[in-house]
A and B are shown apart, each in its own frame.
Chain A
């Protein structure tokens, strides 16, 4: 149980393109979803927390207009990287949790902006 599916697993696109990443909890309801960014050989950096039906709470230094998060249902959250540039290239990971339960993670999305 507690499977989180993240799609796509890899994206390569040109600078200026907007990229949408989906995160789905397949067998449980995710009252909260989290979006992380991970740099090589570094730990997870929390970008934002979203509760179903509410606006996302962004961490300090994360541009909300750059990283658009939608959590429209209890099983789906999306992260859109708008007008992506090479510095946005990274490994993005989502996680989902039901109330009081551990976070379960997707397998991440490798984003490469040329």
Chain B
């Protein structure tokens, strides 16, 4: 069964304290892995798409990497405004469906 697991479930960081969020997946025929940021009461905001192992994408303090089994979202010197829930999703097989993880709730303390 296709599965996407995110860890940790929650993460509290001091401002400036770098860390990584993990998204591991077991799917057949990966077509893309997607990272989203969701603020409370809002829809998810698209961050990155990764298509193949070894690929990396960067945006400001965020960097996403992909291997054959997992993806990491690295946050360098986070700021309080980076506090949000980060979701990963994979698209696999021939359909359009995304499989979402349960998210990591990140809190950055000033």
Residues of A within 8 A of B (CB): 2, 4, 6, 32, 34, 41-44, 46, 49, 91, 93-95, 97, 102-108, 110
Would A105 and B41 count as touching, CB distance under 8 A? no
Task: Give, as a whole number of angstroms, the nearest-CB distance from A112 to chain B.
Answer: 13
A70 to B47: give the CA distance in the assembly, Å.
Answer: 28
Q: How far is the CA of A41 from the CA of B42 in the complex (A)?
A: 13
Q: Contacting A6 at CB < 8 Å: which of B43, B46, B102, B105?
A: B43
CB pairs A–B below 8 angstroms (10 shown): A34-B96, A46-B98, A49-B96, A91-B41, A95-B43, A102-B34, A102-B46, A103-B98, A105-B36, A105-B43
Cα separation A49 to B101 with both chains bound (whole Å): 18
A9 to B87, CA, bound (A): 21
Contact partners of B8 in chain A: CB under 8 A: none
Q: Report whether B96 and A32 are in contact in the complex, using a CB–CB cutoff of 8 Å.
A: yes
Complex Cα spacing A102 to B96, Å: 10
A-binding residues in B (CB < 8 A): 32, 34, 36, 41-46, 49, 87, 89, 95-98, 100-103, 105
A44 → B minimal CB distance (Å): 5
